[in-house]
Amino acid sequence: MRILTLIHEYPPVGGGGGRVAEDLCTGLAKRGHEVRVLTASWGDLPEHREVLGVHVHRLKSLRRESFRADLRAMVGYVWASFWEGLRTIRTWKPDVIHVHFAVPAGASAWALSVLTGTPYLLTAHLGDVPGGTPEKTGKWFRWVLPFSRLIWRRARRVVAVSEFTRGLALKHYPVPVAVIPNGVDLEELDPGDLEINDPPRIVFAGRFMEQKNPLGLVRILSQITDLPWKCALIGDGPLRAEVEAEIARLGLGERITLPGWLTPRQVLGWFGRSDVLLLPSFSEGLPVVGVQGMAMGLALALSRAGGNVELVQEGVNGFCHDPRDEAGFAEKLRALIRDPQHLLEVRKASRESARRFDLESVVESYAKILEDVRQPA
């Protein structure tokens, strides 16, 4: 099967959605499928590259930052991916298009499908669903929503990455939506024998944006300074300067490290040296770093937002809490890390829980749906 994947950000560009697409493309290529990706260029990344059997073609799309695509970059990607997609369909003749994110890549998939008849599978990641991340996309959907309905209706099949994302989608789009969670390679992410660091190490990985709540995270940590711990805040974004100022104001400079924006492999390296994954986000689909953290045997300290609750067995592999109740969040985190033996048991349970998200099963589910999509309607 020939699969043309459309996504506006693909590693090392972008966040969790891109990593999901990369894992799926690689897994499908391993199964013998031909996979091509049309994504955005950035910096000095090569225009064409073959990675683990996947041909990645990066298009000039006005993208200015690795960690974020603004409206100009999204419109630029739609324009570039439409014309390159049209050329690719005419010369390569893919059986199916797999599009990640209804906005922006869905617009290109819709237009290509209308003009060429190529069917497409849509995977929704939350930020492309009205109400998913209102702080980022609320204004856009005021004028995008009418057109986005066409994108969802024309899709031969639709998949959401979590039950939460599916529920939001069904409020706006009257189409069947299946759920396939983000997966992880349990063999590749095997942490080996687990031991608790002394002092315990806490890690965050994500964009420094309001949605991810990095400022709240710093304030939460400031309330447990009576306990020994170290923390790494991995990432970058528009709130970077404010995060640095908050760390300095609260006197946490000796405890919190800011490694910056890292490659996925480097992030996993930090996970391997940590004990707790702390994500007090205001909104989430099904965070890739959450599933990866589980596979690496990290205890989960997550907000009660979106798909986070689908990762946590409360009191077993971690906890979920309201991110706006910073004092309550801090007390739960305190209870998690103050007893090394308890923390070790939670970490072991987290690794065991990750088996529900085995990448092999996820790729198999997508392969079956893509095969169904390619068949005549």
Residue 140 has which token pair?
């856009």
Residue 194 has which token pair?
């687990």
Bridge pairing between strands 256-260 and 230-234: parallel
Average pLDDT, the chain: 92
pLDDT at 169 over 50: yes
Q: Which residues pair with 50 in a beta bridge?
A: 55
Domain boundaries, the chain: 2-183+358-374, 201-356
Residue 65, number of CB atoms within 10 A of its CB: 16
Of residues 288 and 35, more confidently modeled: 35
Residue 116, helix vs strand vs coil: helix
Q: What is the largest CA-CA distance in the chain?
A: 64
Task: Please list the helix, strand and coil fractions of the chain in percent, rounded to the nearest 5, in that order.
Answer: 45, 20, 40
Q: Which of 81, 101, 109, 76 is nearest to 20 (CA)?
A: 101
What whole-number distance in Å separates Cα of residue 3 and Cα of residue 374? 10
- Listed in sequence order, the residues at least 6 apart from 156 whose beta carbon sits closer than 8 Å to its beta carbon are 119, 120, 121, 372, 373, 377
Bridge pairing between strands 120-124 and 48-51: unpaired
295 within 8 A of 267, measured Cβ to Cβ: no
344 within 8 A of 196, measured Cβ to Cβ: yes
Quick one: pLDDT at residue 128? Answer: 78
Quick one: pLDDT at residue 176? Answer: 96
For the stretch 99-145, pLDDT in tens is 999 989 999 999 999 999 999 999 998 877 876 665 554 455 555 66
Q: Cα torsion at 215, 217, 219, 222 (round to 10°)?
A: -140
Average pLDDT over residues 176-200: 93
The reply to whether domains 2-183+358-374 and 201-356 share a CATH topology is yes
Per cent of the chain over pLDDT 70 is: 95
For the stretch 141-167, pLDDT in tens is 555 666 888 999 999 999 999 898 999
Quick one: pLDDT at residue 76? Answer: 92
Q: Where does residue 377 rank: exposed (0-12), middle (13-18), buried (19+ CB within 10 A)?
A: exposed
Residue 339 has which token pair?
């007893």
**Which pLDDT band holds residue 196 (cuts at 50, 70, 90)?**
very high
Quick one: pLDDT at residue 140? Answer: 54
192 within 8 A of 239, measured Cβ to Cβ: no
Residue 33 has which token pair?
């499928």
Of residues 377 and 35, more confidently modeled: 35
pLDDT at 82 over 80: yes
2-183+358-374 CATH fold: Rossmann fold (3.40.50)
Start-to-end Cα distance in the chain = 17
Looking at the chain, how many residues does it have?
Answer: 377
DSSP secondary structure string, 160-222?
ESSHHHHHHHHTT--S--EE----B-TTTT---S----SS-EEEEES-SSGGG-HHHHHHHHH
Quick one: pLDDT at residue 181? Answer: 92
CATH code: domain 201-356 is 3.40.50.2000
350 within 8 A of 294, measured Cβ to Cβ: yes
202 within 8 A of 229, measured Cβ to Cβ: yes
Quick one: pLDDT at residue 138? Answer: 46
Distances, alpha carbon 41 to alpha carbons 202, 235, 308, in Å: 33, 20, 31
For the stretch 207-231, pLDDT in tens is 899 989 999 999 999 999 999 999 9
The secondary element (H helix, E strand) that includes residue 56 is: strand 54-59
- Listed in sequence order, the residues at least 6 apart from 133 whose beta carbon sits closer than 8 Å to its beta carbon are 126, 127, 211, 283
For the stretch 27-76, pLDDT in tens is 999 999 999 999 999 888 999 999 999 999 999 988 887 777 777 888 89
**Cis status, amide bond into 199, omega within 30 of 0:** yes
Quick one: pLDDT at residue 134? Answer: 52
Quick one: pLDDT at residue 131? Answer: 66
